[in-house]
Amino acid sequence: MTDATDDALGIRKLGHRNFVGGDGDLWQRIGMLQFEFLRARGLEPRHVLLDFACGSLRAGVHFIPYLDAGNYLGFDKSVDLVIMGVVHELGHDRFIEQRPQFVLNGRFDLSEFDRNPDFAIAQSIFTHLTPADIRRSLAAIAAIAAPHTQLFATFFRRNFEHENPTESHSRLCFYYSAEEMRSFGEASGWKFEDIGAWDHPRGQMMGRYFRA
Ligand SMILES: C[S@@+](CC[C@H](N)C(=O)[O-])C[C@H]1O[C@@H](n2cnc3c(N)ncnc32)[C@H](O)[C@@H]1O
């Protein structure tokens, strides 16, 4: 895992859009893709949404105004990215009106949220984590999930020889098979559906974790 200082310097160097892989039109495309995907899966303003690894609010800028006030839960390890997202993308007025909640730490600790999410999205975070850290993430989300909670998580499909890095890293990529993705959620009670392609411009696949 890169430490907070490395990330902060990277964000300053690359900018808060590029740092999350949102260069050029990818910022708008990948943000809107997440919003439209969850809308098609039944997300409504009354629902509570966990944006797991929300980054600089690429998707949050669509979800926060859409959801009823207080229903957006953003989690990330980078304070810098979230500050940049609020100041430069969402705006302070929207922040005050819509009261998104943020929990920021690198320990996968979601216990400070006081709501249970109906939906959760983890876009381009399991693509940067080791199996142990994906299991920790899924256990943390399970700990605040309701029986009906659905988590949509993206992954790079491993269908060729590929050696993953040995440590989680904000910018290096990890590849997994659908069977590996399923197995990561087993210990914390998640079932897994391999949704596959969802029109992601960088070829990330979509999977659905569910409990019931
Ligand atoms: C590629 S970005 C994706 C951000 C966002 N989901 C989006 O679609 O723009 C990966 C994000 O994961 C966050 N991240 C990486 N490791 C993390 C960890 N251990 N805990 C929480 N967030 C982490 C990074 O700070 C970054 O915001």
pLDDT, mean of residues 22-40: 95
Give me the pLDDT at residue 10, please: 87
Q: Tell me the domains of the chain and their CATH numbers.
A: 4-149+164-173 (3.40.50.150)
Using most ligand atoms within 8 A of CB, pick from 7, 12, 170, 204 the residue to mutate for ligand 1. 170
- Summarised one tens digit per residue, pLDDT across range 52-72 is 999 999 999 999 999 999 999
Ligand 1 environment, Cβ below 6 A: 20-21, 30, 53-55, 58-59, 76-78, 81, 106, 123-125, 128, 170
Give me the pLDDT at residue 2, please: 52
Of the two residues 177 and 1, the one the predictor is more confident about is 177
The residue nearest atom 9 of ligand 1, judged by CA position, is 58
Q: What is the DSSP string of 20-63?
A: TT-TTTHHHHHHHHHHHHHHHTT--TTS-EEEET-TTTTTHHHH
Model confidence band, residue 161 (pLDDT cutoffs 50, 70, 90): confident
Using the Cα atoms of residue 110, residue 144, residue 62 and residue 94 in order, give the sign of their dihedral: negative
Predicted TM-score (pTM) of this structure:
0.96
- At residue 5, does pLDDT exceed 80? no
Atom of ligand 1 nearest to the CA of 22: 9
Q: Work out whether strand 72-76 and strand 101-104 pair parallel, antiparallel, or are unpaired.
A: parallel
State the distance between the two ends of the chain, measured CA to CA, in whole angstroms.
33
